[in-house]
Amino acid sequence: MTQHPTQSPQFFLTAPSPCPYLEGQFERKVFTHLVGDKASDMNDLLTQGGFRRSQNIAYRPACESCRACVSVRILAQEFEPSRNMRRVEQHNADLIGTMHDAEPSTEQYSLFRAYLDARHRKGGMSDMTVLDYAMMVEDTHVDTKIIEYRRRGPDTFITGKGQGALVAVALTDKMADGLSMVYSYFDPEMDERSLGTFMILDHIQRAKTMGLPHVYLGYWVNGSRKMNYKMRFTPQEHLGPKGWERFGG
């Protein structure tokens, strides 16, 4: 009988449930737990294989009749912003992002709550409490960071930190080959700033500075309009049957 190392991950399959992106479809996911001293290495390997992380779970779609979900990663070192993206950067030039260890705060949760109530009132996260939010941030065995975006303050160039109110937050995994944007949210009353786009552009610049080749955006869902924004950040790669293949640029 073949012996398997006790450290080998065990994978599980969820029951079918209604797809949140495509009407009439049902989704299933294969998942495993990311725990122990090898969690970061396993997260790197699984992310490169099309998995996403949520707390200490790594998951990937395993739908029986649909292949609309496609893993997307930006080729950060080759990326050049479009004219519209440069305008977004200029519009948010008064913001500064500070990266620190993944620790929740009441200020973060207040912004998170406002974002959910305005953008995702009927979504699966709509009833998350402050304790649920803390678990989302803290329940990680990998190298996870929080990036807080604030308006620049009078002492910004001394302290290196923004001093104004919190306007956007990104929960991000730092991996061997890139940055993976796990979840991000922003002040819903600042639509004119395009803060979602700005945070992606900021992550691309951070990856460039760190010498990392990729920014992982999760899944593009073919047929879901709210996922189309991910296609604007080219060149990028899509994970298909033959592996990662270049798209655009």
The predicted pLDDT at position 9 comes to 84
Condensed to tens digits (0 to 9), the pLDDT of residues 104-117 reads 999 999 999 999 99
CA angle (144, 186, 85) in 5-degree steps: 95
The predicted pLDDT at position 238 comes to 97
- Cβ neighbour number for residue 95 with a 10 Å cutoff: 20
The predicted pLDDT at position 102 comes to 95
Question: What pTM, to 2 d.p., does this model score?
Answer: 0.90
Given the candidates 1.10.3470, 3.30.420, 3.40.50, 3.40.630, the CATH classification of the domain at 81-205 is 3.40.630
The predicted pLDDT at position 122 comes to 67
Q: What are the tokens at 175?
A: 């991996």
State phi, psi for 63 to the nearest 5 degrees: -75, 145
**Distinct helix (H) and strand (E) counts, the chain:** 6, 14
The predicted pLDDT at position 158 comes to 53
Domain positions in the chain: 12-69, 81-205
The predicted pLDDT at position 121 comes to 67
The predicted pLDDT at position 3 comes to 45
Amino acid identity at 26: F
The CA distance from 203 to 85, in Å, is 13
- Which DSSP symbol is given to 13? E
Low-confidence ranges of the chain (pLDDT < 50): 1-6
Which residues have C-beta within 8 Å of that of residue 230, sequence separation ≥ 6? 72, 217, 218, 220, 236
- Cβ neighbour number for residue 103 with a 10 Å cutoff: 10
The predicted pLDDT at position 124 comes to 64
Amino acid identity at 22: L
